[in-house]
Amino acid sequence: MTDLEHELAALIVESLALHDVNPADLNRDTPLFNEGLGLDSVDALELAMAVHKKYGVQIKADDPSVRDTFYSIGSLAAHIELARGTEPR
């Protein structure tokens, strides 16, 4: 995982207070919702806010790809890198 992806794993665990999840157990492809981490809609709100606070990146809802953005740590990292104008890896 990239540094950003490690950061995001920690951010997810911390901002969502996932006591039972170890950031190091997460990888780039772990699905955040449903069968993966099992996050719910309130988590999505909190995560969008945490990402905005930390990276200044808005997760725009009129963008039809919002579900894809939140699919995994990898997709979220790619979204942030794209929004900051750096190339996603």
Partner 1 sequence: MTAFDLLAPLSKPRRVCSAPAGNGWLSTRDARRDLARLLSALDQQGAHGQPPAPNPETTLLVVASDRYHMLLACLAAWLRGSTVSLPPNHQPGTLDDVRTESGAQLVLTDAMVARSLASEHGLADEPRELADRAPIPADRPVLTVFTSGTTGDHQACTKTAGQLFGEALTLAQALAFDPSRSVAATVPCHHLYGLLFSVLVPYFSGAGFVRDAAFQPAEICGTCQHWQVTDLVAVPAHLAALVEAGWAAPFQLERAFSSGAVLDVELACEFRRISGAQVVDVLGSTESGGIAWRVSEPGAVYVPLPGVEVAATEDSRLLLRSPFLPPGTGWEAMSDRIRLVAGGFEHLGRSDGIVKLGGKRVAVQELEARARQLDGITDAAVLVMPSTELRKTELWLAVAAEHGDWTRASLREALGRYFDPVLLPRRYRVVHRLPRNALGKLEKAELERLFAHDERAVRRAAGPKQGPDARPASDSSETCWTTDVWVPEQSPFFQGHFPGRPVLPGVAQLSEFVLPAILQAWAELHQLERIPVLKYKRPIQPGARLALELRRRGAASVHFELREDGELCSAGQLCFVVSGARESTMTPPDNRP
Q: Which residues bind partner 1 (CB under 8 A)?
A: 15-20, 22, 24-25, 33, 35, 38, 40-42, 44-46, 48-49, 52, 58-62, 66
Residue (58 or 89) nearer to partner 1, CB: 58
CB of 57 to partner 1, least distance (A): 11
- Take residue 35 and report the two structure tokens written for it: 């069968």
By beta-carbon proximity to partner 1, the closer residue of 70 and 77 is 70
Q: Is 3 exposed, middle or buried (0-12, 13-18, 19+ CB in 10 A)?
A: exposed
For residue 13, what are the CA distances in angstroms to 10, 22, 26, 65, 73? Answer: 5, 7, 10, 23, 12
Tell me the closest approach of the beta carbon of residue 11 to partner 1, in angstroms: 13
Give the nearer residue to partner 1 in terms of CB position, either 2 or 50.
Answer: 50
